[in-house]
């Protein structure tokens, strides 16, 4: 066998347990792999973003369709989609920031975009809560007709993300929509079941004294503040309960909703 | 002809799931519906075939001290690429498969075939062997997926085959079929059927009960 001429040939001809060759192969494998992975990732990013945006729009549409009379109201107002605005949850007021491209789900893990929660307040098991939340609203002649609040909670097997639509009194639930969940199929995943979500509209979050009394109860739900838990999915049901308590409370939208009620839009 | 044998042997007789009991984790997780099972099968078969071919092509130049790391790097890069493609072109299915596409990296079949076959054989037989194993895995997943989706929801590929009671029909879906244990039962029954047909696959018992005390005395 003749001596290989090129540097590449000499490199390949080295014995496999040679240190230079070991390092070289390790480097080459890592480099080529990184190149392939990052190229695919960057090339496919626009398509993936479009998919995510379409998915969110579809879920929003599905929820709007579920609200009785809302489509007619929107036609009357002459709008085709809800308006999105950012709320500063720390200040309990609107934020001036631009909502376009704001990623609510990603903000949970970004230290500069979220507020750490004290353990006793963190009933939703989130750790951090974003400073800004994108709420969707429908207004007519300066009056609020509907407001949709995004929420999240750490469930039994996954992070559950939801949208809660409230009537103009900011207390009556118009609809609940689960936008993302990975709970046990057939049990906890039934929070996506339209039959279960159908019991939400008309429920009230607070009592006359302004305390949050909304509950997800085992057994038979009664009264305007209770919805049925899902049997066989106690932890998922509890998570939904805690989600409502957390996001409607003082660490969630509580201060913002109070201000909205007093001052209007 | 031997190349063809590499392709056909792992389909049933040397099936990675029923003989080697590999890849069970994903077989339990993604078989609640045929759509997810089929997507997972395609993803795993592509990763398996490509990784075996690549590893086989460079097998003479992989230093033995970093052999596993090099193999895992190649496999995981392929898995990420497949996952990105699924997210771009089959978004809703990739959402339902969630982490299980990513977990192909740790699927024992992939590394198992790379270690047991691809490092010792030229690319073509390695590719056939990997493809055969991928198809063998797919066969079991599709069988389990068909049974679980049909009895668990009355549908196949999401299309209603029988009308369930919830929709006014007579069919009462079996809730158990939607839970992971049912896949264990089905795979267990498949293993039993295959080992009844090919009795050489039956393993010798590791322990015996009963006669030990007599032998001692």
Residues of chain B contacting A25 with CB distance shorter than 8 Å: 61-63, 66, 70
Tell me whether A157 touches chain B (CB under 8 Å): no
List the structure tokens of B104. Answer: 């192909």
Backbone φ, ψ for residue A78 (5° rounding): 80, 30
Q: Indicate whether A34 and A74 sit together in one domain.
A: no
Q: Indicate whether A19 and A133 sit together in one domain.
A: no
b/e map A106-118, b = 16+ CB within 10 Å: ebbeeeebbeebe
Residue A227 region, left (φ>0) first, then alpha (ψ -120 to 50), else beta?
beta
Bridge partners (DSSP) listed for residue A163? A150, A177
At residue A117, the pLDDT reads: 93
**CA nearest to A179 within chain B:** B95
- Residue B91 and residue A52: Cβ atoms within 8 Å? yes
User: Domain ends where: A66, A83, A104?
Assistant: A66
**CA nearest to A20 within chain B:** B63
CA-to-CA distance for A146 and A221, rounded, in angstroms? 26
Chosen from B47, B88, B175 to mutate, greatest number of chain A CBs within 10 A: B88
b/e map B78-116, b = 16+ CB within 10 Å: bbbbbbbbbbbebbebbebbeebbebbbebebbbbbbee
Asked if A147 contacts A140 with a C-beta cutoff of 8 angstroms, the reply is no
User: Domain ends where: A32, A49, A66?
Assistant: A66
CA-to-CA distance for A148 and B137, rounded, in angstroms? 45
Bridge partners (DSSP) listed for residue A88? A93, A132
- Residue B61 and residue A17: Cβ atoms within 8 Å? no
- The strand ranges marked E within chain B are 155-156, 159-160
Q: Indicate whether A186 and A98 sit together in one domain.
A: yes
CB pairs under 8 A between A and B: 70
- Residue B84 and residue A48: Cβ atoms within 8 Å? yes
Per-residue pLDDT of chain B (217 residues; tens, 9 = 90+): 577 888 888 888 888 888 888 888 888 888 888 998 999 999 999 999 999 999 999 998 898 889 999 999 999 999 999 999 998 998 888 877 867 888 888 888 899 899 889 999 999 999 999 999 999 999 999 999 999 999 988 888 888 888 887 777 788 888 888 888 899 999 999 999 988 988 888 888 887 776 555 544 4
Q: Indicate whether A16 and A115 sit together in one domain.
A: no
Q: Indicate whether A208 and A129 sit together in one domain.
A: yes
For helices B34-57 and B108-116, the axis angle rounded to 10 degrees is 30
Tokens 């750790």 found at: A127
Asked if B100 contacts B40 with a C-beta cutoff of 8 angstroms, the reply is yes
At residue B217, the pLDDT reads: 44
- β-pairing, A93-94 vs A83-88, is antiparallel
Most confident of A35-39, A67-71, A208-212: A35-39
Q: Indicate whether A94 and A6 sit together in one domain.
A: no
Tell me whether A25 touches chain B (CB under 8 Å): yes
At residue A184, the pLDDT reads: 82
Identify the residue with better confidence: A17 or A41. A41
List the structure tokens of A109. Answer: 């893990």
Q: pLDDT (tens digit, 9 = 90+) per residue, A94-142? A: 998 888 778 888 899 888 899 999 999 999 999 999 999 999 888 888 8
Structurally, chain A folds into a number of domains equal to 2
CA-to-CA distance for A146 and A169, rounded, in angstroms? 9
**CA nearest to A44 within chain B:** B88
Residue A70: partners with Cβ closer than 8 Å, 6 or more residues away: A64, A138, A146
**Rounded to whole angstroms, what are the CA distances from A91 to A95, A245, A254?**
9, 19, 11
Tell me whether B106 touches chain A (CB under 8 Å): no
Q: Indicate whether A195 and A255 sit together in one domain.
A: yes
Q: Indicate whether A107 and A218 sit together in one domain.
A: yes
Residues of chain A contacting B68 with CB distance shorter than 8 Å: none
Q: Determine the structural domain holding residue A83 and report its residue range.
A: 67-263
Q: Indicate whether A218 and A101 sit together in one domain.
A: yes
Tell me whether B87 touches chain A (CB under 8 Å): yes
Tell me whether A58 touches chain B (CB under 8 Å): no
Give me the count of residues in chain A: 265
Question: How close does chain A come to B201, measured CA to CA in Å?
Answer: 35
CA B110 to mean position of chain CA atoms: 10
Largest CA distance in chain A: 94
Bridge partners (DSSP) listed for residue A140? A143
CA-to-CA distance for A217 and B63, rounded, in angstroms? 61
Q: Indicate whether A132 and A160 sit together in one domain.
A: yes
């Amino acid at each position: 066998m003749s001596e290989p001429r090129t540097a590449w040939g000499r490199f390949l001809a080295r014995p496999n347990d040679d240190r230079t060759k070991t390092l070289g192969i390790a480097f080459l494998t890592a480099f080529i792999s990184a190149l392939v992975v990052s190229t695919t990732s960057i090339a496919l990013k626009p398509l993936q973003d479009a998919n995510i945006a379409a998915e969110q729009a579809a879920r929003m549409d599905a929820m709007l369709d579920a609200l009785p009379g809302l489509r007619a109201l929107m036609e009357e107002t002459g709008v085709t989609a809800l308006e999105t605005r950012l709320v500063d949850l720390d200040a309990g007021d609107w934020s001036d920031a631009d909502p376009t491209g704001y990623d609510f789900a990603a903000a949970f893990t970004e230290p500069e975009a979220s507020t750490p929660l004290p353990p006793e307040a963190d009933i939703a098991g989130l750790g951090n809560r974003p400073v800004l939340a994108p709420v969707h609203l429908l207004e007519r002649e300066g009056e609020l007709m509907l407001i949709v609040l995004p929420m999240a909670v750490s469930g039994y097997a996954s992070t559950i993300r939801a949208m809660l639509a409230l009537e103009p009194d900011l207390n009556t639930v118009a609809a609940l929509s689960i936008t993302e969940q990975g709970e046990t199929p057939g049990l906890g995943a039934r929070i996506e079941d339209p039959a279960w979500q159908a019991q939400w509209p008309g429920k009230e979050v607070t009592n006359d004294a302004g305390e949050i009394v909304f509950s997800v109860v085992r057994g038979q739900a009664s009264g305007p503040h209770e919805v049925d838990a899902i049997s066989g999915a106690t932890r998922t049901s509890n998570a939904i309960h805690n989600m409502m308590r957390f996001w409607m409370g003082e660490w969630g939208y509580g201060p913002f909703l109070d201000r909205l009620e007093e001052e209007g839009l | 002809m031997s190349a063809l044998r590499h392709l056909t042997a792992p389909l049933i007789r040397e099936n990675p799931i029923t003989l080697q009991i590999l890849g069970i984790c994903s077989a339990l997780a993604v078989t609640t519906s045929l759509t997810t099972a089929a997507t997972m099968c395609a993803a795993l078969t592509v990763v398996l075939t490509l990784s075996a071919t690549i590893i086989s092509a460079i097998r003479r130049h992989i230093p033995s001290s970093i052999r596993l790391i090099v193999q895992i790097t190649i496999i995981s890069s392929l898995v990420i690429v497949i996952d990105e493609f699924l997210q771009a072109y089959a978004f809703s299915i990739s959402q339902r498969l969630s982490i299980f596409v990513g977990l192909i990296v740790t699927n024992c079949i992939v590394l198992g075939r790379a270690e047991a076959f691809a490092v010792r054989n030229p690319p073509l037989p390695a590719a056939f062997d990997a493809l055969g194993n991928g198809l063998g895995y797919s066969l079991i997943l599709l069988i389990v997926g068909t049974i679980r989706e049909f009895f668990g929801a009355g549908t196949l590929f999401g299309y209603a085959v029988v009308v369930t009671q919830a929709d006014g029909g007579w069919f009462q879906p079996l809730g158990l079929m939607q839970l992971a244990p049912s896949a264990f039962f089905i795979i267990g029954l498949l293993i039993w059927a295959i080992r009844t047909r090919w009795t050489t696959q039956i393993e010798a018992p590791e322990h015996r009960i009963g006669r030990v005390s007599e032998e001692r005395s």
